[in-house]
Amino acid sequence: MLLLIALAGYLAACLALFAFQRSYIYFPPPVPMVTAPRTTTLALPGAEVRVSERPRQGPQAVLYFGGNAEDVTASLPLLDEAFPAHALYLMHYRGYLGSSGKPTEQALVADALALFDRAALEHLDIVVIGRSLGSGVAIQVAAKRPVSRLVLVTPFDSLAALGARQFPYFPVRWLLRDKYESGKYAPAVKAPTLLIAAGQDEIVPAQSTRLLLSRFREGVASMRVIDGAGHNAISGSPDYVAYLRVPPGHPAGAR
């Protein structure tokens, strides 16, 4: 009887994890931290997605996809410093700060591809940056579109693997719907890629980032580690903006 009760409790916990899993992944911020110079809307199936922009004329642009609890406007000042000549486009995920709809991996990637296609109408040279959860979005864009550079900040090889590590007693790989398996998309990326890792990352293990690095084709990706930086504090390092600027393949972007 005790065994049956324990089994029923375990199955109920698995069901709850499956039903509420996206509440463990997506944490929309309450208010914007920075006022963007311009905000536009992408009208997409099932949602209207807000995009914070810093306009610039010319062929160069940056697309930025943030972390799971990030207000992307907070990154505007650093991106402005790193890319003064580029137009900046920062996507607010579905359900985040004025964007309607609900966030899912499939929807976020589709929205990101739509943003790239819109930006490509005006810009020929597009850098794509993804931070934390956004690295899982950005790498899929780079695998499917002709980006000029890809920058992944505190990236992981697989969200499913991270979830299995956090919940070792549950079949997370079977239960998880939004798996963000970046390692599967890395071989399709042709653009020069830079991974920026936090030396004291308390969320993404170093082995996950290095495993992702190994998935790229030879010569495509390199990595820099910001020593002493934590997962959420990495952008506060004086090296962060410098690494955003450094093209992969440059000596400062060595593996």
Give the pLDDT confidence of 147-193 residue by residue, as tens digits: 999 999 999 999 877 765 666 545 556 557 788 999 999 999 999 99
pLDDT tens digit sequence for 90-131? 999 999 998 999 999 999 999 999 999 999 999 999 999 999
pLDDT score at 112: 98
CA distance linking residue 79 with residue 64, whole number of Å: 9
Element (H, E) at 12: helix 2-19
Q: How many other C-beta atoms can be found within 10 angstroms of the C-beta atom of residue 104?
A: 18
Q: Which amino acid is at 251?
A: P
pLDDT score at 36: 87
Question: Mean pLDDT for the chain?
Answer: 87
Cβ contact 139:130 at 8 Å: yes
Q: Which residue has the higher pLDDT, 135 or 13?
A: 135
Q: Is the pLDDT of residue 6 over 60?
A: no
Residue 153 has φ and ψ, to the nearest 5°, of: -105, 130
For residue 248, the 8-state DSSP code is T
Q: Which residue has the tokens 């690494």?
A: 243
pLDDT score at 34: 82
pLDDT score at 89: 98
Coil, helix or strand at residue 223: strand
CA distance linking residue 77 with residue 160, whole number of Å: 32
What contacts 241, CB < 8 A, 6 or more positions away? 78, 81, 82
Q: Is the pLDDT of residue 210 over 50?
A: yes
Q: Is the pLDDT of residue 67 over 60?
A: yes
Provide the pairing of β-strand 60-65 with 125-131. Answer: parallel
Q: Is the pLDDT of residue 9 over 60?
A: no
172 forms bridges with which residues in the sheet? none
Q: Is the pLDDT of residue 5 over 50?
A: yes
Q: 228: closest CA among 250, 249, 252, 198?
A: 198
CA distance linking residue 82 with residue 129, whole number of Å: 12
Q: Is the pLDDT of residue 13 over 80?
A: no
CA distance linking residue 127 with residue 193, whole number of Å: 10
